[in-house]
Amino acid sequence: MERIAEIKSAMESESVTDFASLEAFRIKYLGTKGLVKAVMGEMKNVPNDQKKEAGLLLNELKIFADAYFEKIGEGLGNDSGSSSDLQDLSLPGENLPLGTRHPISLIQQKIIRIFEKIGFSVAEGPEVEDDWHNFSALNLPEDHPARDMQDTFYISKNPDWLLRTHTSSVQIREMQKGKLPLRIICPGRVYRNETISARAHCFFHQVEGLYIAENVSFADLKQTLHYFVKEMFGDSVGVRLRPSYFPFTEPSAEMDISCLICKGSGCNVCKHSGWVEILGCGMVHPKVLENCGIDSNKYTGFAFGMGVERITMLTYQVKDLRLFSENDVRFLNQFTSIQ
Ligand code: PHE
């Protein structure tokens, strides 16, 4: 019983000045190997006639120790210099920076939405393609000089495999499925072995489109692209088609819009012509239809393909395409919404 009194006064004479000494206090008195537990263990040695009194005292000691520990702990939290260990739960939380969508994704989404409004749906395909889907089926047999128009990355393990140079390969895959009429757009990343500069990269993004049905004409193509340009760039932009050549379309054309930067008066971006090329297009070549098992006497179609980087550069007036893949957040976080 003297032991109980001793422990109590020892507790009161402890100097607890910080959280480390508070923890030491807890271990010394209240821990599983602490003094309070130890003195409880001695109960079995107390003579029977004193057990009742000792039990009461012990209980008091336990209650006192718990309350005393709480009291000195509170004192530390309130007025000691080490309150930084405690958390003030009413403080505002830490702000975690949220990323923004990449400008290429923003513009790609905008292009997709414009075509979805007139009934096109999205089709996707593999980035590693075989030669047939990327070239041969598109009327580009081996040794065809037009293959040089797209400098290709081949996969050395299997020379029949390559990184697709355009998403026209997805159009072939969709035509082969045989469900007509077909009205699709094919967004995705494509690869070409080009020297990297402000205007070219070894990979970029495309949205290509394809419409196949009975009686589709060049007038439908013009009308569709005209609608696209007005939705994308506004009513005041000028549009023109120039005859061109692609092996998979006949006739073929390229479409220019009036330069958004100088408004047609001439600048570096439009090379002082007032016009900027934005896409290639044409009527699907009958051979391409036949290669995919489509009767070219019954069906006709148009196709077009545009580079998303070019359209993003024009929309946001970005002059160097390398910025899109450098991952510099100072550049990227300027694009938070579609213009
Ligand atoms: N596939 C062509 C390219 O990547 C673009 C294109 C698509 C041209 C459809 C005409 C018709 O260069």
Beta pairing class for 182-191 and 161-163 = unpaired
> What's the gap in Å between 168 CA and the centre of ligand 1?
7
Q: Are 16 and 119 within one domain? A: no
Q: Is residue 93 part of a domain?
A: no
Q: Are 160 and 288 within one domain? A: yes
What is the rounded average pLDDT for all residues in the chain? 91
| Distance, CA of 210 to CA of 301 (rounded, Å) | 7
Segment 131-179, tens digit of pLDDT: 999 999 999 988 888 788 889 999 999 989 999 999 999 999 999 999 9
Q: Are 282 and 326 within one domain? A: yes
Q: Is residue 97 part of a domain?
A: no
> Looking at ligand 1, which residue's alpha carbon is closest to its atom 5?
305
Percent of the chain with pLDDT over 90: 60
Q: Are 289 and 208 within one domain? A: yes
Q: Are 316 and 242 within one domain? A: yes
Last residue of a domain, one of 85, 118, 145: 85
Q: Are 221 and 251 within one domain? A: yes
Q: What is the mean pLDDT of residues 61-79?
A: 82
Residue 280 Cβ inside 6 Å of ligand 1? The answer reads yes
> Looking at ligand 1, which residue's alpha carbon is closest to its atom 6?
305
Closest atom, ligand 1, to C-alpha of 206: 4
CA nearest 308: which of 87, 107, 99, 36?
A: 107
Closest atom, ligand 1, to C-alpha of 208: 7
State the angle between helix axes of 2-13 and 51-79 in degrees (0 to 180), rounded to the nearest 10: 0
Residue 168 Cβ inside 6 Å of ligand 1? The answer reads yes
Last residue of a domain, one of 85, 116, 148: 85
Report pLDDT for 260.
Answer: 87
CA dihedral sign of residues 163, 321, 331, 270: negative
Q: Are 183 and 330 within one domain? A: yes
Report pLDDT for 80.
Answer: 47
> Which residues constitute the domain of residue 13?
2-85
> What's the gap in Å between 290 CA and the centre of ligand 1?
18
The model carries a pTM of 0.73
